[in-house]
């Protein structure tokens, strides 16, 4: 029985599992990398060690693995995933026949700027109408590249989206293409992008794209991740006077059954204190406004509202609402920098930020994501290669992030210092 089969059957001793996660077993190279990928994806105990090992795996050995049609599909999928992708491996992955067209379809929709260039130079991509059509929906596609894709589609004999529309038979690639064309038109007209009409189109598109999830969550009320106190801050809630606190404690001690009424008294006292301090009503009004809205209403507010409203809705426990904030036309880089560092947002929000090239151009966003302990480990490891030397050093001593991130940060810091000294 192969070692990988013993690992899947949980028959390998703990000490051997640790060796396996470090890539130190005496097994053939293809089995070694298959073991590491399996542990990285499925093992809770040794997964972090395996991911760290894969992040520093030899480039030539990795290239040999992704080039071979005999390599396990799970390994190829792991290296094709955006959080694990190495630019030097992409050409081999694309041409590997064991990487299915469906895998490339999914990859092409959100591929990075660099990945698009590699894909357009691939013979396999150039001869695949399905992949070319899905690429047209990629927001990072430049206008000249879109023209090249259109020519390749024509050469490949793909029917144009307008012809399909006349037949009333639009398929998924055509829909993606149409959406991409609409998006590029909006990007080409920045002076009109803030108009109410364009915002309405954005809202309708978002509602259409997420119709199924919205239908499921339509009656879900606003519930911020982390709770209201964490959202508004402890200083937002007034502190009761000592006399009132003593009276409330006394009521509870004398008669435990009066606990509920005591709590009510505390709430009334808190309200009186709030009024007495004459706190600004703007945030109250915003919270009241949001609390009254259903999911569709909150999505519209996320896309068309102001900075204050976005700062609250990014914390919405309903994923489809929180993600809508990242699509807002008026969203600023400064807001995204804060979102990237927040610990009280959904994981989906942190995963969505790197998928937008505009955000990834901002170094502070990248640095904040890696330093955020809530950022998924695979995402942090994939972004660390973009960090500057001093930030890698700071990250290596950041006790809030995982040990895996700290160790890799120190390793990369030392490598950069050594490279700089050689120059």
Domain boundaries, the chain: 1-99, 239-278
Q: CB–CB of 378/407 below 8 Å?
A: no
**Would the pLDDT of 365 be above 60?**
yes
The least confident of 77-86, 108-117, 252-261 is 252-261
Report the mean per-residue pLDDT for the chain. Answer: 79
**Would the pLDDT of 172 be above 50?**
no
Q: What angle do CA 316, 361, 104 make, to 5 degrees?
A: 80
pLDDT attached to residue 255: 56
57 φ/ψ angles, rounded to the nearest 5 degrees: -65, 145
| 277 or 1, higher pLDDT | 1
Q: How confident is the model at residue 257 (pLDDT cuts 50, 70, 90)?
A: low
Tokens 């050995």 label which residue? 61
pLDDT attached to residue 168: 44
**Would the pLDDT of 278 be above 50?**
no
Q: Measured between alpha carbons, how far is 34 from 43 in angstroms, rounded to an integer?
A: 13
Cβ burial 91-105 (10 Å sphere, 16+ → b, else e):
bbbbebeebeeebbb
Q: CB–CB of 349/339 below 8 Å?
A: yes
Q: CB–CB of 341/335 below 8 Å?
A: no
**Would the pLDDT of 158 be above 80?**
no
**Would the pLDDT of 274 be above 90?**
no
304 in helix, strand or coil?
helix
**Would the pLDDT of 72 be above 90?**
yes
**Would the pLDDT of 236 be above 60?**
no
Q: How far separated are the first and last CA of the chain, in Å rounded? A: 49
Tens of pLDDT, residues 411-422? 999 988 888 888
183: number of Cβ within 10 Å: 16
């Amino acid at each position: 029985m192969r070692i990988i089969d013993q690992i899947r059957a949980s028959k390998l001793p703990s000490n051997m599992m640790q060796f396996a996660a470090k890539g130190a077993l005496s097994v053939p190279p293809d089995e070694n990398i298959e073991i590491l990928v399996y542990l990285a994806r499925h093992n809770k105990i040794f997964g972090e060690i395996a991911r760290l090992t894969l992040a520093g795996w030899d480039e030539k050995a990795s290239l040999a693995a992704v080039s071979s049609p005999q390599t396990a599909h799970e390994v190829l999928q792991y290296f094709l995933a955006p959080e694990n992708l190495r630019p030097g491996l992409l050409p081999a992955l694309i041409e590997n026949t064991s990487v299915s067209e469906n895998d490339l379809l999914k990859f092409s929709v959100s591929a990075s700027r660099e990945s698009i260039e590699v894909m357009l130079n691939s013979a396999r991509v150039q001869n695949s109408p399905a992949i070319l059509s899905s690429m047209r929906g990629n927001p990072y596609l430049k206008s000249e590249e879109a023209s090249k894709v259109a020519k390749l589609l024509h050469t490949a004999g793909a029917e144009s989206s307008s012809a399909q529309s006349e037949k009333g038979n639009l398929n998924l690639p055509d829909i993606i293409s149409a959406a991409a064309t609409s998006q590029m038109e909006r990007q080409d007209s920045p002076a009109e992008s803030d108009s109410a009409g364009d915002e309405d189109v954005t809202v309708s598109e978002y509602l259409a794209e997420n119709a199924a999830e919205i239908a499921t969550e339509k009656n879900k009320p606003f519930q911020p991740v982390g709770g209201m106190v964490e959202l508004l801050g402890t200083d937002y809630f007034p502190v009761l006077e000592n006399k009132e606190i003593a009276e409330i404690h006394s009521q509870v001690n004398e008669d435990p059954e009066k606990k509920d009424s005591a709590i009510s008294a505390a709430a009334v006292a808190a309200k009186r204190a709030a009024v007495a301090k004459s706190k600004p009503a703007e945030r109250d009004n915003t919270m009241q406004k949001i609390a009254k809205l259903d999911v569709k209403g909150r999505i519209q507010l996320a896309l068309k509202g102001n900075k204050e409203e976005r700062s609250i809705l990014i914390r919405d426990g309903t994923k489809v609402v929180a993600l809508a904030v990242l699509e807002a036309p008026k969203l600023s880089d400064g807001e995204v920098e804060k979102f990237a560092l927040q610990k009280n947002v959904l994981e989906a929000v942190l995963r969505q930020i790197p998928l937008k090239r505009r955000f990834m151009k901002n170094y502070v966003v990248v640095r904040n994501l890696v330093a955020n302990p809530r950022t998924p480990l695979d995402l942090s490891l994939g972004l660390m290669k973009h960090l500057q030397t001093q930030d890698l050093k700071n990250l290596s001593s950041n006790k809030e992030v995982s040990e895996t991130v700290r160790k890799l940060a120190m390793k990369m810091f030392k490598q950069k210092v050594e490279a700089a000294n050689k120059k």
